[in-house]
Structure 1
Amino acid sequence: MFENRIEKLRERMKENCLDGVLLVGDPNRNYMSGFTGDESFAVIGLDRAIFITDSRFTEQAKSQVKDFEIRQYNGKIEEFLSDVVEELEIKTLGFEEDILTFDKYCLYAKNLSCKLVPMEGMVEQIRIIKDSDEVAAIKKAASIADEAFMKILQFVKPGMTEREVGVELEYWLKKFGASGLSFPSIVASGERSSLPHGQATDKVIRMGDFLTLDFGCVYNDYCSDMTRTIVMGNATEKMTEVYNIVLKAQEAALKSFKPGVTGSEVDKVGRDIIKENGYGNYFGHGLGHGVGREIHENPRVSPMGNTVLRAGMVVTDEPGIYLPNEFGVRIEDLVVITENGCEVLSKSPKDMIFI
């Protein structure tokens, strides 16, 4: 598996006149190597690959990383990298321009006897298509989120704080097998549900509130992401209207996911329904985004999403309507693009739930 990924990268390196790349960001480095730790370096040449770490991770790297030569460094990493670059006879070295700080770039440019060239998402372009093992990990992360959500439905009640619900949610995610959260859970009730990224506070959840829960977990280094909006007690006529519009938009977008369409085309399907019902000004973010080792990856499913969808891409479908000082509704599923359409990985119910 990792050998195949490395060969795909080498093909892209040749196309871009690179004879080496330096990977320092956890998602790209670990994707290429199988390592699960951090603060390490992967140098991939056209014929050899060297994994560099320190004494904290050497034993771990030797057990996890099979397609690299393992080297332990001491002292200044820039000096060690300089020796590796010379050993591999690298003249043009690609680097992750969105990961490497300017300070580190200057340090490496000064010490390495090669030209540094931005990779421009070279590894991410490979990562965008998930293989069967990756999809299986994401499915498991999604199923853990579904299980935790069902526990929250049994737990939550008016009088609790958003923070209490957030803590309970994290407990169940980890209880069911998650290694951590994909992102800090969004727990927003009442008027705060109009905040698309309203993280939990000490606000008390009241009867008549919408409660928006946007959360995900990590399983085997892969993320999940889902959102459900539930009703505490009874919903007003306007709350019901808005919820049903969002649900209609979300399900219409689901039906339009398939290979060959762009993210912007899918976004338009959901967005047009919200616009047609008079709430276009209250849906400000994209319909969705890619998910994998990172919670936000390519492709974008938004008005600016020009990537053509292909089988193996994993994306979210999450339209919303947010009415300031009133309430908000978002409904989100995680899906994988298949040869004929898409498979919905989030199994939790989407019809309006009353607590």
Structure 2
Amino acid sequence: MKKVQKLIEKMNEMDLDLVLIYSVENSSKPSTYYLSGFTGSFSCLVIAKEKQYIITDSRYFEQAKSQTSFELVEFRGPDFIGTIASVVRQFNPRKIGLEFQRISHATFLKISEKIESEFVPIDQILSEMRMIKDEEEIANIKKAVEISEKALQKTLEIVKEGVSEKDIAAELEYNMKKLGADGTAFETIVLTGPRTSLPHGRPTTRKLGKNEPILFDFGAQVNGYCADITRTFFYGNPSEEFLKVYQTVYEAQTLALEKGSAKLSGKELDAIARERINQSGYGQFFGHGLGHGLGLEVHEEPRVNSLNEKPLPVNSVVTIEPGIYLEGIFGVRIEEDVVVKEDKLERLTTFQRELIILR
């Protein structure tokens, strides 16, 4: 309940009487899990300073009782928002915090029709709370990283000429689950040959050929928390240009890992890696930010890019993932998961960053 108590402190600062976390078809699953521990796809949390409720339907009655200390309100139909309103009315709230970015305009109109209160956005508050991880959260991410890396090592055993991207991706996902992952953090990316120039391409039936790169972008999920790792390998004999590009990406990442800390903003850290890539003449081929926050979602705050001028918070977890993408030829990306500390970046990933050539 520490997270709920912290939210209540924020509510006091904003003069809020109540917070609603509305999640239908997982629309606010991260916030729901973060605050209550509930993992179902259909619920509404009603958080008052003196009491907290979870409203859900019969699919999740038993699950809610076992996963959260919030008092269960059983929704038995047909009007979910009406049931929420009936719980809210007992508090006679003046101001209610709501995640504006997690609900549709149509849903907001229905809620505001049934509940005559002032609604205030709390998206930024929850984002800032989730940015800073406690020891348990960091341990979950570290476990997800460990499983991911072991699964990758096992999957490399089947990588050979003639095996398709889809088959390799399926093997990697199977290995992560077999090693203890609850699931995958996002859709696994495995790309081969010229398709490695697609920063977020999807696996296809294309088969790995001789003398081609292969790129993995993947992550396990453990207790709701995500890993996000990228490694680029080469199968066969790499060209001089590939070796140059790989070394450039590697050096850019190394500089960021060595110089990064909570003393720098996301913009400043991004600039360190970007400058190295610019010096090599590949600046125009590095089109995305250096990294992003990692936690219950694979992309969350803080951002490590040119738009974030705020210092990176101590105990936030971010990715460091420079890349160079030569359209239709090849791409290289290396991605690390790190914990931001006062004077350094603490690596959670341990898998070799130097180029591995597969034979």
Q: TM-score range by the shorter chain?
A: over 0.9
Counterpart AA for 1:93: I
Other structure's SS at 2:272 match: helix
Deviation at 1:64, TM superposition (A): 1.6
Distance in 1 between residues matched to 2:248 and 2:98, nearest whole Å: 45
Counterpart AA for 2:17: D
Q: Deviations for 1:1-40, whole angstroms, at most 9, x for unmatched residues?
A: xx22112111211222211111121100110111122211
Distance in 2 between residues matched to 1:256 and 1:290, nearest whole Å: 18
Could you tell me which residue of structure 2 aligns to residue 218 of structure 1?
221
Q: How does 1:7-22 map to 2 (within 5 A)?
A: 7-22=5-20
Q: Deviations for 1:208-227, whole angstroms, at most 9, x for unmatched residues?
A: 11111000111111000000
Give the TM-score normalised by structure 1.
0.97
Distance in 1 between residues matched to 2:296 and 2:318, nearest whole Å: 12
Pick from 119, 123, 136: which aligns with 2:122? 119
Could you tell me which residue of structure 2 aligns to residue 31 of structure 1?
34
Distance in 1 between residues matched to 2:310 and 2:7, nearest whole Å: 20
Pick from 62, 74, 77: which aligns with 2:76? 74
Counterpart AA for 1:175: K
Q: How does 1:178-193 map to 2 (within 5 A)?
A: 178-193=181-196
Distance in 1 between residues matched to 2:72 and 2:284, nearest whole Å: 54
Counterpart AA for 1:70: L
Distance in 2 between residues matched to 1:65 and 1:339, nearest whole Å: 34
Counterpart AA for 2:75: Y
Counterpart AA for 2:281: G
Conserved in 1, the CA contact under 8 Å of 2:131 and 2:313?
no
Distance in 1 between residues matched to 2:120 and 2:205, nearest whole Å: 48
Deviation at 1:185, TM superposition (A): 1.0
Give the TM-score normalised by structure 2.
0.96
Between 302-311 and 283-292, report the one with greater CA deviation: 302-311
Could you tell me which residue of structure 2 aligns to residue 4 of structure 1?
2
Between 102-111 and 68-77, report the one with greater CA deviation: 68-77
Conserved in 2, the CA contact under 8 Å of 1:86 and 1:113?
no
Pick from 272, 277, 283: which aligns with 2:275? 272
Distance in 1 between residues matched to 2:280 and 2:243, nearest whole Å: 13
| 2:198 aligned with 1:195 | yes
Deviation at 1:143, TM superposition (A): 0.3
Other structure's SS at 1:305 match: coil
Conserved in 2, the CA contact under 8 Å of 1:245 and 1:274?
yes
Conserved in 1, the CA contact under 8 Å of 2:263 and 2:343?
no
Other structure's SS at 2:33 match: helix
Q: Deviations for 1:91-140, whole angstroms, at most 9, x for unmatched residues?
A: 21111111111111111111112222222322121111010010000000
Counterpart AA for 1:338: K
Distance in 1 between residues matched to 2:272 and 2:58, nearest whole Å: 53
Could you tell me which residue of structure 2 aligns to residue 300 of structure 1?
303
Could you tell me which residue of structure 1 aligns to residue 25 of structure 2?
none
Other structure's SS at 1:22 match: strand
Deviation at 1:307, TM superposition (A): 2.9
Q: How does 1:281-320 map to 2 (within 5 A)?
A: 281-320=284-323
Counterpart AA for 2:217: D
Other structure's SS at 2:110 match: helix
Deviation at 1:179, TM superposition (A): 1.2
Other structure's SS at 1:121 match: helix
Q: How does 1:236-247 map to 2 (within 5 A)?
A: 236-247=239-250
Deviation at 1:306, TM superposition (A): 2.2
| 2:59 aligned with 1:56 | yes
Deviation at 1:287, TM superposition (A): 0.4
CA RMSD of aligned residues (A): 1.1
Q: How does 1:254-269 map to 2 (within 5 A)?
A: 254-269=257-272
Conserved in 2, the CA contact under 8 Å of 1:317 and 1:333?
yes
The aligned length equals 352
Deviation at 1:89, TM superposition (A): 2.2
Could you tell me which residue of structure 2 aligns to residue 91 of structure 1?
94
Unaligned runs of 5+ in 1: none
Pick from 323, 326, 329: which aligns with 1:323? 326
% same residue? 40
Pick from 9, 31, 45: which aligns with 1:42? 45
